[in-house]
Structure 1
């Protein structure tokens, strides 16, 4: 299977290090359009669609392979091996932050750093852990999605996006959700919201920037604080933003934080 076709790989920009952008549930690589142009003058930028999303090759989708996030992590490792040059920094939104962590575990030392945008290792409250949802809430969400995916998308996309002053962004996310093949989206939603990657991410030594919105229904601030506490090399940055997609609704704040974090991999700083 040709990787470029399978994952609709896009490569732009040039630099001594590579930024690999990986999108979240219901999205595709076009959601990075508010962010990635800022970096093409200093980095090689690789973007791709998760199999089943965007312009990926839907014939490559396997329910068995993608029954867990591990299938997506293996794809990401293949993309890094084929297209990344120099130090590799993963920029993962939402569930792709955990896909990136799994890829890091698969290939220790291959990834130089992570930038996690609205990450969550587990969406379900458990003991002292605050994920943001009760188990019954997740079951209800998935049941509604199974019975009426398009209706769920139209209702939930604006809630997930937030950004009350930017209705065009809600429409963009809604359209992206509705373009996704429903049966694939249903399975990916179940894999995403039922995953528990706390053990996978705990103690990961790779330098990590956590970008968390100040108000996010999907990944509340407590989740970012939890990740910061269990990732020894992490930097925690709260982005003034309402919603789960600060890379779209607050791109300037995100690029400012990323610029600071990325200094070791820019130009003459790269070893």
Structure 2
């Protein structure tokens, strides 16, 4: 299958500039970056895509065997990079895509030259001295609710994930994005996301990396950003004055400025 069609790949911005790849999180699609693209498009070539099972990707390409782990999504990104002949691109990954980006950088070192991890979490479940924000029982309940009543789960969880209760339109947008995703495909992506443990992968990240955490985030609480930052040699940690797990919607100016400053340093 044509990879561009499979992942609904869009290329915009300055074709003569360095390339930035924007990767969405669980239950979302490339439209979530609409307030980021204008901030980058003048200087950078911007590549957007939808993971298989999300957005306007090709549903017939979905396979539970391939997409039951983060490695399957990472392989798709590698194939996108190869199809577009990308070299030294900056991969900007939101939420679970931050960890997918770490895998991609190891799988395709010539394609990915730097990472921006937005609200990353290498493991959502608490473990000994590690605080991911959820107990095993929390995640089991979350997944059971998602699988039994996906639309109800979306309506209940979207405002919690988004935060910003005083701006209900943001939670509504995330809910609508969740509800537009096929429930069976969302179930597979959710298990790959919330049951993942990418902590050991962090020590293998060998490219310049910016870690962006939010000051108040129930999905990736404070402390997780530091955990991601510490094993990645030479990485930079920035705490955004933002609430919720989706700063590209709730605090786009602050998030865009942090990314631009990082890109400027890269040259």
TM range (shorter): over 0.9
Say whether the 8 Å CA contact 1:213–1:243 is kept in structure 2. Answer: yes
After the TM superposition, which residues 1-271 of structure 1 pair with which residues of structure 2 at under 5 Å, given as runs? 1-14=1-14, 15-83=16-84, 85-265=86-266, 269=267
Give the drift of 1:85.
4.1
Say whether the 8 Å CA contact 2:87–2:113 is kept in structure 1. Answer: no
RMSD: 1.2
Structure 1 pair 216–82 and aligned structure 2 pair: CA distance change class (3 A): same
| Cα shift readout 1:137-165 (whole Å, capped 9, x = no counterpart) | 10011111111110000000111011223
Equivalent position SS for 1:163: coil
Equivalent position SS for 1:104: helix
Provide the C-alpha distance between the structure 1 equivalents of 2:182 and 2:58, rounded to a whole number of angstroms.
12
Equivalent position SS for 1:232: coil
Provide the C-alpha distance between the structure 2 equivalents of 1:233 and 1:130, rounded to a whole number of angstroms.
23
Provide the C-alpha distance between the structure 2 equivalents of 1:76 and 1:202, rounded to a whole number of angstroms.
21
> Tell me, which stretches of 5 or more residues in structure 2 are unaligned?
none
TM-score of the superposition, structure 1-length normalised? Answer: 0.95
Provide the C-alpha distance between the structure 2 equivalents of 1:203 and 1:180, rounded to a whole number of angstroms.
32
> Tell me, which stretches of 5 or more residues in structure 1 are unaligned?
none
| Cα shift readout 1:59-109 (whole Å, capped 9, x = no counterpart) | 000011111111100100111122254430000000011111111121234
Equivalent position SS for 2:64: coil
Give the drift of 1:46.
0.2
Provide the C-alpha distance between the structure 2 equivalents of 1:116 and 1:36, rounded to a whole number of angstroms.
17
Deviating beyond 4 angstroms after TM superposition, the runs of 4 or more aligned structure 1 residues are none
TM-score of the superposition, structure 2-length normalised? Answer: 0.97
Give the drift of 1:203.
4.1
Provide the C-alpha distance between the structure 2 equivalents of 1:230 and 1:78, rounded to a whole number of angstroms.
27
How many residue pairs were aligned? 266
| Cα shift readout 1:202-241 (whole Å, capped 9, x = no counterpart) | 2422111111110001001111010111111211010111
Provide the C-alpha distance between the structure 1 equivalents of 2:8 and 2:166, rounded to a whole number of angstroms.
32
